[in-house]
Amino acid sequence: MNDKFDVIIIGAGSVGVPLSYFLARKGFKTLVIDEKSSPGQGSNKAAIGGIRATHSSPGKILVGLKSLEIFRNWEKETGDDIEYYEGGYAFVTYREEDRNSLKELVKYQRQFGLEIDFYEKEEILKIIPGINPEGLLGGTYSPRDGSASPLLAIESFYKHAKKHGAIFKFREKVISLETEKEKITAVKTLSGSYRADIVINCAGGEASDIGKLAGVELPVIPDSHEGGVTEPVERFVNPMIVDIKPEKGSKNFYFYQHKTGQIIFCLTPDPPIWGTDLRETSTFLPMVAKRMIKVMPKLKYIRVRRTWRGVYPMTPDGNPIVGFKGYKNFLHLVGMCGQGFMLGPGLGYYISEYLEGKTSEELETILKEFSPDRDFGAQELLK
C-alpha cells in the first residue's frame, strides 16, 4: 500500500479503536495496524468493564467524565447495545485511615462537579443491601459511574470507525519505524510500509517496545492481573464495590454485577506480578473468593464460570502518558494502568480535537498532567 495517511495508529485496542473512530469521523484518513487477528485482542478482552470519573487526578476526572458521556449516549446515537448500566461505584472502608482519606478525596472530587458523597455505615447498608456490616465504617458512592461490555463496545467502535472510512490492517506486526531528522517517515510491517503525517502509539502492553523501535524510552511496564465471572443471577447489587483494604497477597479487590446478571471480579496483587504471562494461577480464585465472601456473604452460593489473566501497562505514577515524544510526529497514548477501557473513548475524543487544532481548558489540563516529560514522582491516591 503506497497511500499516505493523515494518521497511523499502532494498536487496535481500548484506546486505538475509539481514537480511530473520532479521527475518522472528523475526516482524518486513518490507518490502524495490529499484529493480532481482530480488534480488542490484547488487554481489552481482559477488562472487566468498569467506567468511572471518580479519580483523584484532574486529568483522569476530565477524561472519565467524557468517557461516561460517550458510553451513556452510545446506544441512542448508534443503535448499538453495549450493555451499558449506570449502577455507580462504591469505595467501602473498614479502616479509619481509609475513611478519612475518602472523605478528603470526596471534597476534592466534588470541585469537578462529580456526583459523589461519603456515606456512613447505615447509609451504605441501604445502598448495598447484603454487604457485611461487621467493621464497616462507611464509604463513597457515585451513582453516575457505570459499566459496559468491553467486547461489545470495541466491536461497535470498530464498526463505526470503518463506516467513517478508517482502515484496519490485522495480523501485521510493526517491525521498524523509519526516521529522518525529526520525523517518523514510515511504519514497516512484515507485509508492507505505510506513511503518515502522524504516527500514534496505542500499543498497550507493547507500548515500550514500539517506542524503542524509534529509540524512544517510555516508562511503561506491564504487570499481570486476574479476573473472573460467575453464572448470571437476579440483580441484587447495583454499584461496583471496591474494598481498598490491603490483605496478604492483595492490595485491594473489586466486583460488580453486570447488566446481564453475572458477577465480574478482579484483584490487585501485592506485590505486583511484573511481566506479560497470561497463564492463570492457582492462587487467585481462593484469595479473591475469600475476600468477596467476607464483604458480601451471599456470594458464596454463586458458581464461578471462568477466570482469566490480563495485563496492566503501568507507569511510575499511575497516570497515562499522552503527548509527542522523540519525534515531532510521534504521539503516544500509552500506560493506561489497567484503565484503558474507561479512559479510551474520552482520550479518543480529546486527542481528535487536539489534532484538529482545537484547544480548551480541559484539553490543556489533560496534556499537561499526562505529559511524557513530566515528573513521575507523584502517586495517584486511587489507581
Same domain, 209 and 232: no
Locus of grid cell 481482559: 46
Long-range own/partner contacts, residues 271-278 (CB < 8 A, 24 or more apart): 272/223, 272/314, 273/223, 273/224, 273/225, 274/221, 274/222, 274/223, 274/224, 275/222, 275/223, 275/224, 276/205, 276/222, 276/224, 276/311, 277/224, 277/309, 278/224, 278/308, 278/309, 278/310, 278/311
- What 3-state DSSP class applies to 24? helix
164 HSE (CA, 13 A, CB side): 21
- Reported as a pLDDT band with limits 50, 70 and 90, residue 9 is very high
Query: What radius of gyration do the chain's Cα atoms show?
Result: 21
pLDDT, position 381: 58
In the predicted model, what is the mean pLDDT of residues 343-348? 99
Of all residues in the chain, what percent carry a pLDDT higher than 70?
98
Domain boundary among 264, 296, 312: 312
Residue 379 within a domain: no
Instruction: Give domain status of residue 74, yes or no.
Output: no
Q: pLDDT of 243-271, one tens digit each?
A: 999 999 999 999 999 999 999 999 999 99
Report whether pLDDT(36) > 80: yes
pLDDT single digits (tens) 78-118: 999 999 999 999 999 999 999 999 999 999 999 999 999 99
**More reliable by pLDDT, 16 or 181:** 16
Assign residue 335 the CATH number of its domain: 3.50.50.60
Q: Is 92 found in the same domain as 173?
A: no
First-last CA distance in the chain: 41
The answer on 233 and 120 residing in a single domain is yes
Of 270, 290, 312, which residue constitutes the final position of a domain? Answer: 312
pLDDT value at residue 332:
99
Please give the average per-residue pLDDT across 303-328, as a whole number.
97
Q: Which three cell numbers stand for residue 129?
A: 443491601
Q: What is the distance between the alpha carbons of residues 160 and 63, in angstroms, rounded to a whole number? A: 21
pLDDT at site 3: 75
Nearest to 115 by CA among 86, 84, 85: 86
**Model pLDDT, residue 377:** 79
Residue 374 domain flag: no
Residues 308 and 237 in one domain: yes
Q: Are residues 336 and 216 in the same domain?
A: yes
Tell me: do 323 and 308 sit in the same domain. Answer: no
SS3 195: strand
DSSP code of 274?
B
- Whether 380 maps to a domain, the answer reads no
E strand intervals along the chain: 4-10, 30-33, 50-51, 89-93, 117-120, 138-142, 146-147, 167-169, 174-180, 183-189, 193-201, 221-232, 240-243, 250-257, 262-269, 304-314, 321-324, 330-334
Same domain membership, residue 361 and residue 229? no
pLDDT cut 90: percent of the chain above it: 97
Q: In the block, which residue shows the cell 455505615? A: 121
User: 312, 337, 355: which is the final residue of a domain?
Assistant: 312
227 and 211 inside one domain: no
- 230-241 average pLDDT score: 97
**Residue 179 lies inside a defined structural domain of this protein:** yes
CA distances from 189 to 146, 169, 171, 183, 213 (A): 38, 10, 10, 18, 12
Range of the domain at 323: 4-66+150-220+317-369
If asked whether residues 92 and 188 sit together in one domain, one would say no
Minimum mean pLDDT among 50-59, 199-208, 276-285, 370-379: which range? 370-379
Q: What is the CATH number of the domain that holds 125?
A: 3.30.9.10
Q: Which of 255-259, 274-278, 330-334 has the lowest average pLDDT?
A: 274-278
Answer yes or no: is 176 within a domain.
yes
Whether 229 and 210 map to the same domain: the answer is no
Of 60-74, 198-212, 267-281, 329-343, the poorest mean pLDDT is in 267-281
Burial class (CB in 10 A: 0-12, 13-18, 19+), 74: buried
Q: Which pTM does this prediction carry?
A: 0.95
Residue 383: pLDDT band with limits 50, 70, 90: low
- In the chain, the number of structural domains is 2
**What integer pLDDT is reported at residue 282 of this predicted model?**
92
Element (H, E) at 68: helix 58-78
How far, in whole angstroms, is CA 193 from its chain's centroid?
Answer: 30
List, for residues 168-188, the tens digit of each pLDDT value: 999 999 999 999 999 999 999
pLDDT at 2 over 70: no
**Distance in angstroms (rounded) separating the CA atoms of residues 212 and 28:** 26
272: cell is 505486583
Whether residue 36 lies inside any domain: the answer is yes
Q: Are residues 232 and 332 in the same domain?
A: no
Q: Is residue 25 part of a domain?
A: yes
Identify the band that residue 382 occupies on the pLDDT scale cut at 50, 70 and 90: low
Over 90: is that where the pLDDT of 326 sits?
A: yes
Statement to judge: residues 295 and 248 lie in one domain: yes
| 292-304 tens-digit pLDDT | 999 999 999 999 9
Q: What is the pLDDT of residues 135-155, one digit of tens each?
A: 999 999 999 999 999 999 999
Phi/psi for 382 (5° steps) reads: -120, 90
